[in-house]
């Protein structure tokens, strides 16, 4: 079993990565959880494939398990949905010694973490990510947020998990589009931190598309190690360093919000955001045109969008200003100085932002 330790200041925790890890969930949770009661939070799609297996493993380890089945999808990641999780917590009698187990993708993980972080001012959380996007990014690092109509993840908490258990075998049941969306986050890690990883993605794209188990486990581990470095250095996102993980996200969140969280998966929106950021990086002289083209080609190889947003740049621009990373009148944008090196630009001009957005937008300016 591959293990990545997240060395945060208050206490470290381990990311366990292994095919077949679902069979050992109860044992891993028992090592850390002090109480008997657990609320298993999942959605109806994941529950159909893995809910029974995880529940049996937890019960065999001596836990009393209640289950909350949420509606799948980004549109369901709301305060109202979290309120329903609270109702299930109350019904199950969860106290401060109890724990929450999140079984699913990033939406389930975010809502379960938000609920665990605020129930009795914080109870233990175990993340069991079942999507590639969650295994390489969303389940690691302790950020949890829910959406408002005015923007993505505007309400949230920091709540580090007690452990993360990733089973690459769960990726076999992912629809192709969901799997591809996770590859958007994988490409992000190569762009901001690891040129070697980026080259590996280029060279082994066919095996990655075929979901080869050993290859995926190695890539998941590398992404988690990169994220561990950022989390250890800037756990609360207060020093500006962890912000580099938002490469592609500020533009991508604007696309998601503008399209009502219906048209694009999160990783697809991040891919579009990376295209915007790479265009701006090129205009600033930070990257070569050849590097920008390498990024676009790799995204297309993974069937990720690089354009075609049915909006104008001028329509998307105001949504950048509602991003949760804005401080006063300033909103930093994560750009790259070549493949494998990220920088936060403190303030981009309106014309430069417009040109970046036009790289992905289908519609001309509406008069």
Q: DSSP characters for 108-149?
A: HHHHHHHHHHHGGG---EEEEE-SHHIIIIITSSSEEEEEET
pLDDT of 214 > 60? The answer is: yes
Determine the pLDDT at residue 311: 95
pLDDT of 330 > 60? The answer is: no
Determine the pLDDT at residue 367: 47
The residue among 69, 158, 148 whose CA lies nearest residue 110 is: 158
pLDDT bracket for residue 325 (50, 70, 90): low
Pull the structure tokens for residue 309.
């947003």
pLDDT of 70 > 50? The answer is: yes
Mean pLDDT of 114-135: 97
Mean pLDDT of 24-51: 95
Residue 66 forms beta bridges with which residues?
Answer: 39
Mean pLDDT of 167-195: 97
Cβ–Cβ < 8 Å for 153, 147: yes
- Report the SS3 class of residue 94: coil
Determine the pLDDT at residue 347: 86
Q: Which domains does the chain have, with CATH numbers?
A: 2-173 (3.40.50.1970), 192-358 (1.20.1090.10)
Q: What is the pTM of this model?
A: 0.93
| Contacts with 5 (C-beta within 8 Å, 6 or more apart), sequence order | 12, 13, 14, 15, 228
The residue among 173, 196, 197, 195 whose CA lies nearest residue 183 is: 197
Mean pLDDT of 309-331: 77
pLDDT of 327 > 50? The answer is: no
Mean pLDDT of 97-107: 97
Mean pLDDT of 257-266: 94
Mean pLDDT of 306-310: 97
pLDDT of 229 > 80? The answer is: yes
- Report the SS3 class of residue 179: helix
Looking only at Cα atoms, what is the longest distance across the chain? 65
Cβ–Cβ < 8 Å for 254, 323: yes
């Amino acid at each position: 079993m591959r293990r990545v330790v997240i060395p945060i200041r208050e206490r470290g925790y381990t990311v366990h990565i292994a095919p077949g890890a679902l069979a050992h969930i109860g044992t891993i949770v028992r090592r850390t959880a002090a109480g008997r009661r657990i609320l298993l939070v999942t959605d109806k799609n994941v529950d159909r494939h893995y809910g029974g297996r995880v529940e049996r493993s937890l019960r065999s380890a001596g836990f009393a398990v209640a289950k909350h089945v949420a509606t799948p999808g980004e549109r369901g990641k709301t305060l109202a949905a979290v309120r329903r999780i609270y109702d299930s917590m109350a019904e199950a009698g969860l106290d401060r010694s109890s724990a929450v187990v999140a079984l699913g993708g990033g939406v389930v993980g975010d809502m379960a973490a938000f609920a665990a972080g605020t129930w009795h001012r914080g109870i233990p959380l175990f993340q069991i990510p079942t999507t590639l996007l969650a295994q390489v990014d969303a389940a690691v690092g302790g950020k949890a947020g829910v959406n408002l109509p005015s923007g993505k993840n505007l309400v949230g908490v920091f709540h580090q998990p007690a452990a993360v258990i990733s089973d690459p075998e769960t990726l076999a049941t992912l629809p192709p589009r969901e799997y591809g969306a996770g590859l958007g986050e994988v490409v992000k890690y190569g762009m901001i931190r690891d040129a070697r990883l980026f080259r590996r993605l280029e060279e082994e794209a066919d095996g990655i598309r075929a979901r080869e188990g050993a290859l995926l486990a190695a890539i998941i581990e590398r992404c988690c190690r990169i994220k561990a470095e950022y989390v250890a250095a800037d756990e609360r996102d207060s020093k500006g360093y962890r912000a580099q993980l938002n490469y592609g996200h500020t533009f991508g969140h604007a696309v998601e919000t503008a399209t009502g969280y219906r048209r694009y998966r999160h990783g697809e929106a991040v891919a579009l955001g990376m295209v915007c950021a790479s265009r701006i990086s090129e205009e600033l002289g930070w990257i070569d045109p050849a590097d920008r083209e390498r990024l676009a080609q790799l995204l297309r190889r993974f069937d990720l969008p690089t354009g075609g947003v049915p909006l104008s740049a001028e329509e998307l621009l105001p949504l950048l200003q509602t991003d949760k990373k804005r401080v006063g009148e300033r909103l930093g944008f994560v750009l790259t100085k070549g493949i494998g090196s990220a920088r936060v630009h403190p303030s981009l001009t309106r014309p430069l932002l417009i040109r970046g957005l036009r790289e992905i937008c289908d519609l001309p300016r509406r008069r």
